[in-house]
Amino acid sequence: MYLYIVAGLALFVSLIFSREKTLRAVKIAARRFMMILPAFLTMIILVSIILFLIPDKVISNYLGADNKFTGVAIASFFGSITLLPGFIAFPLAGILLDKGVAYMVLAAFTTTLMMVGILTAPVEKAYFGIRVTVIRNVMSLFIALVVTVVIGLAFGEIF
Amino acid sequence: MKRNDIIKIAGISGYVLFLIVSLLLGFGPGEKIAHNSASFSAEMLKLLPGAFILIGLFEVWVKRETIERHFGEESGARGYLWAILLSGTTLGGLYVGFPVAYSLYSKGAKLSVIFTYIGAVAICRVPMTIFEASFLGVKFTAIRLLVSIPLVIVTSMLLGDYLTRRNYRIIAGK
């Protein structure tokens, strides 16, 4: 909600300074939005289907795998292919932690969830092209794995 | 290009039709997908119009020189710092970060800085970070940030250099 307040205030201030420029800003906003709308629609469709196929219950069942390393692999997979808002993802991680799931599994899950976006790829591709999208996501997966290892070491889960 | 558009329009119409039929006939999986779709769309409607208005105002009011100085070739380490601070205030996630990054780039920000911004949007948004720390602990969050931020900067520099060498230009809408 505050985004609307900020945007509204900014529009108002802009209007005081220049009517003409404000009108141009709104036009740019509308044009940019329409340009990217198909990519956003594609993303919404993908998200709605993936969340149906893989509900959070399924994720929490799989992350509790007995072997930590299997758990990390499964967690990275789910984290990469899904898109959960923070207000669902972190409470879920909190519940799993209480159930005894390792920190490194949760690190793999939350970090790939944040950084690797298969579902946001349509939007990313529309702006930056397929090559950048692939490279950035692969690098993000690598970063997530480094984070996972360091978390594992810091919480004494590896040695 | 034309053929792709037709496929896209057909796909989207087919999807919408499927949802409508499912809702009318009470087909469970279809209803579930419709529900997911509605709640995710609502989530994005909370952010996108405001974000795009701010982007429009940014395009009109902020001078190119200002962005070049703070985010461009001569910005040095400051560019990365600004990118990370700016990301902290970004709401939503990657899908809001991409259009903002594109705007910064079109105003003269350098590639490695905008990729740092995108990476940082994923991992350093302030509300999300606070939320994470409250569920997984401050130690967890601190380690995650300390490890991932330097890696995001380094990989962004590598990606930026690589693309600059290949004379890469961003052309949105392709």
For range A70-96, the mean pLDDT: 91
Beta-carbon count within 10 A of A71 CB: 22
A126 and B131: CB-CB below 8 Å? no
**Of B37, B94, B174, Cβ closest to residue A48:** B37
Burial profile B127-166: b = 16 or more Cβ within 10 angstroms, e = fewer: ebbebbbebbeeebbebbbebbbebbbebbbebbeebeee
Q: Is the Cβ–Cβ distance between B140 and B104 less than 8 Å?
A: no
Residues B114-160 pLDDT 10s: 999 999 999 999 989 999 999 999 999 999 999 999 999 999 999 99
Share of chain A above pLDDT 70, in %: 100
- Grade residue B92 by pLDDT with cuts at 50, 70 and 90: confident
Share of chain B above pLDDT 70, in %: 97
Q: What is the pLDDT of residue A3?
A: 86
> Which residue does chain A place closest to B155, by CA atoms?
A139
d(CA A115, CA A139): 9
Q: What is the pLDDT of residue A158?
A: 84
Half-sphere exposure of A98 (CA within 13 A, CB side): 6
Residues B63-72 pLDDT 10s: 999 999 999 9
Q: Mutation test of the interface with chain A: which of B13, B94, B129, choosing the one with the most A Cβ atoms within 10 A? A: B94
Residues of A in contact with B55 (CB under 8 A): 28-29, 32
Size of interface A-B (CB pairs under 8 A): 198
Distance between A102 CA and the closest CA of chain B, angstroms:
11
CA torsion, points B60, B157, B70, B75, in degrees to nearest 10? -140
Q: What is the CA radius of gyration of chain A?
A: 20
Q: What is the pLDDT of residue A115?
A: 95
Dihedral sign, Cα of residue B152, residue B153, residue B154, residue B155: positive
Task: Using the predicted structure, report yes or no on whether residue B169 has a pLDDT greater than 90.
Answer: no
- Grade residue A64 by pLDDT with cuts at 50, 70 and 90: confident
Please identify among residues 84-113 of chain B the ones whose CB lies closer than 8 Å to any CB of chain A. Answer: 91, 93-95, 98-99, 101-102
Least confident residue range of A17-31, A60-74, B26-40: A60-74
Share of chain A above pLDDT 90, in %: 77
d(CA A2, CA B154): 33
> Which residue does chain A place closest to B118, by CA atoms?
A115
DSSP string, B14-26: HHHHHHHHHHHHT
- Grade residue B1 by pLDDT with cuts at 50, 70 and 90: low
Task: Using the predicted structure, report yes or no on whether residue A43 has a pLDDT greater than 80.
Answer: yes
Q: Is the Cβ–Cβ distance between B36 and A48 less than 8 Å?
A: yes
Distance between A152 CA and the closest CA of chain B, angstroms:
10
Q: What is the pLDDT of residue B3?
A: 82
Q: What is the pLDDT of residue B174?
A: 42
Distance between A33 CA and the closest CA of chain B, angstroms:
7
Q: Does A44 touch chain B (CB under 8 A)?
A: yes
Task: Using the predicted structure, report yes or no on whether residue A147 has a pLDDT greater than 60.
Answer: yes
